[in-house]
Structure 1
Amino acid sequence: RSEVHRDGDYHRAVHVWIYCESTGELLLQHRADCKDSWPGQWDISSAGHISAGDSSLSSARRELQEELGIKLPVDAFELIFVFLQECVINNGTYTNNEYNDVYLVTTLTPIPLEAFTLQESEVSAVRYMHRDEYKSCLAAESGEYVPYDVNGQYGQLFSIIEERYKDNTESRSLTLQKQISRYAPIHLEPELTTLSEGDKEALGYILKASMVIDEIFYEQVWNSNTMLRDWLRAHADSSSLDSLKWAYYSINKSPWSCLDENKAFLSTADSAVKLLTDATKPISGWKGLEYRAAFPLDKPRGANFYPADMNKMEFDLWKSGLTDKEQKDATGFFTVIKRPDALLTTSVVESDGPNQTNTSDDLFIVPYSKEYKASLEKATELLIKASDCSDCPSLKNLLRTKANAFLSNDYYESDIAWMELDSNIDVTIGPYETYEDGLFSYKATFEAFVGVRDDVATSQVKLFGDQLEDLEKNLPLDNIYKSDNVSAAPIRVMNLLYNSGDVKGPQTIAFNLPNDERIVNERGTSMVMLKNISEAKFKNILKPIANACIREEQKEYVDFEPYYTHIVCHECCHGIGPHSITLPGGKKSTVRMELQECHSALEEAKADIVGLWALNFLINKGLLPKSLSKSMYVSFLAGCFRSIRFGLEEAHGKGQALQFNWLYDKGAFILHSDGKFSIDFTKVEEAVESLGREIMTIQAKGDKPAAQSLLQSRATLTQPLRVALEKIEHMQVPVDIAPIFGTASKLLANN
């Protein structure tokens, strides 16, 4: 430490502030007279260097315990900003070049001063001081206080607290009302007349298992998410504002708004209160330390799959020291990564048995079957009961194999069973999509979709699955990158009855699974289309968007048939193009592994744009009507504006912005002086093909720098997009739908 400050080396440190929300006071410590920097001055509640090998968060916890005798769990610490402090003191003998992670701990009431155990070599006293008074002293550069520039970076401490606690009930309520109104409530009540009595009984258990899946997803989003959810739900009737908080939280399933680039619509001031009776030494008559469970203003990129303070560099360095088997587990769909200190507080550290990989002293790999053991055992029991009730062999097989997968962490057999499902009840349940993992796109979130199969619609879309091999052979892609193992993709159409888990915010209209590259290579994929969701979105969103943004002479081309047909083709095109790839030097890999966080947005863009190319290809083969040749492009243009409203942090929105800007720059999309758009039919076909080639070539090469460059340059909110979005906003067109599961609710009530 002394050498760092002698030589002026840049280094990292932590600042921990304790703030009492009932009094508006910050806790200050009086630095010991023996300190080599700013002795005898009032300073941060607690601070210290981050030692080599330690994480920022563990350092913050350690310093607070060492200096003040306060032991707090990780959810008490909110990282609010990072700032660089550069100064020279003590006649040039002490240089402080320090990157400081600034944490805030929020308590409800002041901690009694006698509860602190002070480290005499560091701290001589503590006291509380109102934030405004302290800010004024710093601004006046009082010699009693360690100096911080309140007009510079450190002013964030005060502005964050002031914004959080000012009386703005009316404005917050209006904002939340506006945010909620972006979702049109839609009642989903599909008929169950095609179901046998056995399947109806099974359906009740399947719905209950789906509710368990919801619990797991809440836990996957963020480490204190379930606590926040329970707190908001319990207090929803306290006021109209609390009711709105709960309503919007329920849509997003987290405190971050899906439609606002994951911006937080709540703060730690809205969070759950926890009581600790042993955080300090015991004080007679004091019940203990009450604090707000903190959450970051920025949504954690790694969700709850990795330690909150782990970054990509640390993960990659740790991974490089693992065996091949351990590396596969670390980057697999169905594991979480934890630190030893986190594991020791849970039930998963029982032994180094076959279901847990103990790799080093730094990080651990824990399979989902252990991490979510209690919930998965409950879901397993319900699925087995459902299997016993059902009289459909393929449904019984799916439910049994999925139950086994929940306990074994091996989903291969159950994914095959899902692809072979031939049942009036359509069920997708388990961990699938990786959008929530913003660090690497490695980890899968749990979800459930339960619906009733539409046999007529299913027969109508069979054409697309049958044509996949021919589409692969003719892709706008160099032949060396094309696959010889594309299988026909079964397509099932259902009307959604209930969904849960990773179904927050904008609702999906279709999905293409599984994502397991082994199965994709061996058998391809299967698709499920949610027809009643597509119909609701077209009626409530796409038609109004077209009325606002499409030129009158092309508005007639916006129709449900081309809109829905492109959705089908989009899902089919997830199954073609590069997946498993060979890198220069002969190394085998996958697109997902190489493109990491760029993968999801680029894959969605690929499926969209290649879907358009595929429709044109099938029209030219005479397999689809010529009437689609114009309507598919105009309907797609209107759909661009719909998806971009999901936000550029979301994979579909980002991918759609990339496509729009590419086609606009190629002259295929035209913005007219009246602020409305049209298609140049002479340019759109070539523009679509060129973008398809660009994306698939990047995927085939596993070229992450090229993927980053393409997204950074094209996946942006350009002026033409702003024009369209302002028109749509002015007309108050809903952004998406919020399903209300009437039939499912009745079934659950009867069970």
Structure 2
Amino acid sequence: MGGGKVEVDVVSKSGNDDVHRAVHVWIFAETTQQLLIHQTHNRPGFWDITASAPIPPSHSSLITARKELKKQLGVTLPKDAFELIYVLTEDGDDEKQTKKESIDVYLVTTIDPIPLEAFTLHEKQVSAVKYLSYDEYKGLLANQDSGRHAQLFDIIEKRYKENTGARSSTLQKQLSRYAPISLNAELTGLTDSDKEALVFVVKAAAVIDEIFYLQSWYSNPSLRDWLKEHADESELDKLKWSYYLINKSPWSSLDEETAFLTTADSAIRLVSAATKPVKGWKGLEYRAAFPEPKPRGSNFYPPDMDKTEFETWKENLEKEEQKEATGFFSVIKRHSELVLDSDTYDSEKKESYDDDLYVVPYSEEYKPLLTKAAALLHKAGDITQSPSLKKLLHSKADAFLSNDYYESDMAWMDLDSKLEVTIGPYETYGDKLFGYKASFEAFVGIRDDKATNQLKLFGDNLQLLEQNLPLDNVYKSKEVNAAPIRVIQLIYNAGDVKGPQIVAFNLPNDERIVKDRGTAMVMLKNISEAKFEHILQPIAEHCVAKELQEFVDFDSYFTHTICHECVHGIGPHSITLPDGQKSTVRLELQEYHSAMEEAKADIVGLWALRFLISKGLLSESLLKSMYVSFLAGCFRSVRFGLEEAHGKGQALQFNWLYEKGAFIPHSEDTISVDFSKTESAVESLSREILSIQAKGDKAAAGSLLQKYGVISEPLKLALQKLEKVQVPVDIAPNFPVANKILQ
């Protein structure tokens, strides 16, 4: 190194907290495989990390990293250039009176080295910079404290030295878990005006897709466009694009949201004014970054915000402001980021704002896209002759721009149209940090009138089910509205429909509407039929005891799905806490809410079927088939992974029933059912989950999921068997009707 020496610097301490927090920023040039290192004035001959600094009190990690790179080297980059690759922790030393350290390590991947004359070095902190091969840097650190940077070297080697053939093979295997299905639906039942309106509805749904890509991660749209543009360049690029289309992000839904891509696969972006201009150099090109572990808050919150920061900020807000912060239809952002990204930013000027975090409503955050979607829905609303559909489309378009979804969700509840439309922000599965924020989604289908009429029984008996729930009477609702149930043939879906496909949904989730009107259910019959044929039946053949396989049939599977959705509408929603405070299950259980709610709908749905049979409202012939089909369904849903709400909830149910002896091991590593124990096991778990929800007991929810929401040995054996025989995990639908419209 030109006579110099590499030294791993210890970042200076700041603040009075128990843990000293700091940032390290590395700049890595992809084409030359070099790291940028710097030398300080007071330590000539010692070369260190590209940039490093303590995180000042009340400052955030990413903002500090961006500011320090600008301050120390004169490099100004947007947030999507910074990839948090790991957090380095080091214990403190009581004798030396040093604190425990937590260092966020960021990587900025440029395509080529930045010309050295482009840097503006901080006159007091940095005397020189230079590039060094990461292999050479690794070698020079061999006799020093290289452990600090071992993860960095491992990440670089994995990204740029991985065998292309092996990677293609892995992606092909991941893709093979999805059975490609073409979903055609007859439009003959639609009027001419509804066929014309359908065109604008599908186009609006495609806009919703754009919003969801952005909600997943801020660099996700750039990644998508890049992968699409380069999909034909090689077999590997084609596989990347194909698997990305299923997951709608770089994280694999069936693999606990682990990344199947890296920033090295991402889009190249140019910032011409990132540094001082250099003659003949067009500017700094970098890879749009994303972290390999999926952020639990997706893009609803600042990427470097943790729960403690949010809760501390929220507690200082007025009551109405707290509702906005925890509401479905807003994102949380930083003032410091807004200031840093402004054209008038001055690093020497003191920033002035009371709180760093602030709320932005969806109508403002996604305004250009929502304005476009609203215009399309208004056009569709003008065309259709169905009064209820007309009302829905116009009110939903208005909601996109006002951020008030109450009236449009009420209109959706009242929808009575052959053309079925569900569009807007609904489910909160994407917010694994708190479970507060709703993702945009869309479902467009043709109502199956015959199947819909057959299901009136379930919606009409919700109050009867509520009154008899295995739950203390004090927690039961006195008034439960009959739930409309609509069966459709799906012709297009968009937005939050990544990975495993849902077979039904129960909406809205707004507790005000649930309290006033209840919920409505939509069953996706052609999706259910495809899953039963391609997945559930093969699973039963391999995992369910042979003598019980005859009980696995579509009617019992579909009937339980109906009950699952019905049960979402009963039980605790708006609750009173032990201290008398009014709240909701969602707000109290936070990140556990989705898994607990899905488990509740499944297991209480099973209880509800047994109850309706006991009242003579359903045939006793359903009794055995519903339990056996449920068992096969356990194996199906657990394959979605424990990061997915349905998968974790299903693991909880299987393990509880197995522990209670309702599910028992059988020959050839299959599982059988002890019908003498199913009823009590189902009722006991139903009571447990409902009671936790009624009390808003987050600690109990966490304990229950920690104990039972795991891959136990019998589940592990079943999953291994299904992987070996290559039963698809789910389906990947194609929509010919919608594709023709969107061409």
Which TM bucket (shorter chain)? Answer: over 0.9
State how far apart, in whole Å, the 2-side matches of 1:564 and 1:60 are.
Answer: 52
Q: Secondary structure at the match of 2:172?
A: helix
- String of CA shifts for 1:237-264, please: whole Å, max 9, x gaps: 1111111101100100000000000000
Which of these residues, 51, 61, 72, is aligned with residue 56 of structure 2? 51
Equivalent in the alignment of 2:614? 620
Matched, 1:514 2:508: yes
State how far apart, in whole Å, the 1-side matches of 2:311 and 2:587 are.
Answer: 13
Q: CA separation of 1:470/1:7 partners in 2, compared to 1, >3 Å: closer, same or farther?
A: closer
Equivalent in the alignment of 1:237? 232
- Judge conservation of contact 1:326–1:359 (CA < 8 Å) in 2: no
Matched, 1:17 2:11: no
State how far apart, in whole Å, the 2-side matches of 1:82 and 1:62 are.
Answer: 19
Shift of 1:140: 2.0
State how far apart, in whole Å, the 2-side matches of 1:642 and 1:557 are.
Answer: 16
Q: CA separation of 1:93/1:573 partners in 2, compared to 1, >3 Å: closer, same or farther?
A: closer
Equivalent in the alignment of 2:737? 743
State how far apart, in whole Å, the 2-side matches of 1:276 and 1:394 are.
Answer: 49
Q: Secondary structure at the match of 1:282?
A: coil
Which of these residues, 82, 85, 92, is aligned with residue 87 of structure 2? 82
Equivalent in the alignment of 1:274? 269
- String of CA shifts for 1:12-33, please: whole Å, max 9, x gaps: 1111111111111111111322
Q: Secondary structure at the match of 1:674?
A: helix
Q: Secondary structure at the match of 2:390?
A: helix
Matched, 1:412 2:410: no
- String of CA shifts for 1:195-240, please: whole Å, max 9, x gaps: 1101100011101110011011111111111111111111111111
Q: CA separation of 1:604/1:88 partners in 2, compared to 1, >3 Å: closer, same or farther?
A: closer
Which of these residues, 439, 463, 468, is aligned with residue 469 of structure 1? 463
- Judge conservation of contact 1:8–1:97 (CA < 8 Å) in 2: no
Q: Secondary structure at the match of 1:477?
A: coil
Equivalent in the alignment of 1:135? 138
Which of these residues, 146, 150, 169, is aligned with residue 149 of structure 1? 146
Q: Which amino acid aligns with 1:103?
A: Y
Q: CA separation of 1:87/1:451 partners in 2, compared to 1, >3 Å: closer, same or farther?
A: closer
Q: Which amino acid aligns with 1:44?
A: I
Q: Secondary structure at the match of 2:676?
A: coil
State how far apart, in whole Å, the 2-side matches of 1:587 and 1:97 are.
Answer: 39
Q: CA separation of 1:598/1:112 partners in 2, compared to 1, >3 Å: closer, same or farther?
A: same
Equivalent in the alignment of 2:3? none
Which of these residues, 278, 285, 297, is aligned with residue 283 of structure 1? 278
- Judge conservation of contact 1:5–1:94 (CA < 8 Å) in 2: no
Instruction: Write the mapping of 1:485-504 to structure 2, written as runs, cut at 5 A.
Output: 485-504=479-498
State how far apart, in whole Å, the 2-side matches of 1:251 and 1:263 are.
Answer: 14
Percent identical among aligned pairs is 65
Matched, 1:30 2:27: no
State how far apart, in whole Å, the 2-side matches of 1:192 and 1:315 are.
Answer: 48
Deviates further, 96-105 or 563-572? 96-105
* Unpaired runs of at least 5, structure 1: 142-147, 350-357
Q: CA separation of 1:597/1:473 partners in 2, compared to 1, >3 Å: closer, same or farther?
A: same
Equivalent in the alignment of 1:579? 573
- Judge conservation of contact 1:5–1:95 (CA < 8 Å) in 2: no
Equivalent in the alignment of 2:386? 392
- Judge conservation of contact 1:332–1:442 (CA < 8 Å) in 2: yes
Equivalent in the alignment of 2:168? 173
State how far apart, in whole Å, the 1-side matches of 2:231 and 2:276 are.
Answer: 35
Instruction: Write the mapping of 1:194-343 to structure 2, written as runs, cut at 5 A.
Output: 194-343=189-338
State how far apart, in whole Å, the 2-side matches of 1:558 and 1:32 are.
Answer: 75
- Judge conservation of contact 1:271–1:293 (CA < 8 Å) in 2: yes
Deviates further, 664-673 or 714-723? 664-673
Equivalent in the alignment of 1:101? 104
State how far apart, in whole Å, the 1-side matches of 2:475 and 2:578 are.
Answer: 13
- Judge conservation of contact 1:7–1:95 (CA < 8 Å) in 2: no
- Judge conservation of contact 2:470–2:686 (CA < 8 Å) in 1: yes
Q: Which amino acid aligns with 1:207?
A: V
- Judge conservation of contact 1:25–1:129 (CA < 8 Å) in 2: yes
Q: Secondary structure at the match of 2:675?
A: coil
Equivalent in the alignment of 1:733? 727
Q: CA separation of 1:417/1:97 partners in 2, compared to 1, >3 Å: closer, same or farther?
A: closer
RMSD: 2.0
- Judge conservation of contact 1:6–1:94 (CA < 8 Å) in 2: no
Equivalent in the alignment of 1:605? 599
Q: Which amino acid aligns with 1:70?
A: V
Shift of 1:361: 3.2
State how far apart, in whole Å, the 1-side matches of 2:14 and 2:214 are.
Answer: 42
State how far apart, in whole Å, the 2-side matches of 1:538 and 1:198 are.
Answer: 34
Shift of 1:98: 2.5
State how far apart, in whole Å, the 1-side matches of 2:295 and 2:265 are.
Answer: 18
Shift of 1:116: 1.3
Q: CA separation of 1:283/1:93 partners in 2, compared to 1, >3 Å: closer, same or farther?
A: farther
Q: CA separation of 1:319/1:61 partners in 2, compared to 1, >3 Å: closer, same or farther?
A: same
- Judge conservation of contact 2:14–2:54 (CA < 8 Å) in 1: no
Shift of 1:346: 8.4
Q: Which amino acid aligns with 1:623?
A: L
Q: CA separation of 1:345/1:420 partners in 2, compared to 1, >3 Å: closer, same or farther?
A: farther
Equivalent in the alignment of 1:110? 113
Shift of 1:2: 11
Shift of 1:742: 1.1
Matched, 1:548 2:542: yes
State how far apart, in whole Å, the 1-side matches of 2:18 and 2:625 are.
Answer: 63
State how far apart, in whole Å, the 1-side matches of 2:618 and 2:474 are.
Answer: 29
Which of these residues, 511, 525, 531, is aligned with residue 531 of structure 1? 525
Equivalent in the alignment of 1:450? 444
Matched, 1:73 2:78: yes
State how far apart, in whole Å, the 2-side matches of 1:154 and 1:184 are.
Answer: 42
Q: CA separation of 1:677/1:398 partners in 2, compared to 1, >3 Å: closer, same or farther?
A: same
For this pair of structures, how many residues does the alignment match?
Answer: 726
* Unpaired runs of at least 5, structure 2: 1-9, 345-351
Q: CA separation of 1:260/1:3 partners in 2, compared to 1, >3 Å: closer, same or farther?
A: closer
- Judge conservation of contact 2:374–2:397 (CA < 8 Å) in 1: yes
Q: Which amino acid aligns with 2:331?
A: V
Q: Secondary structure at the match of 1:556?
A: helix
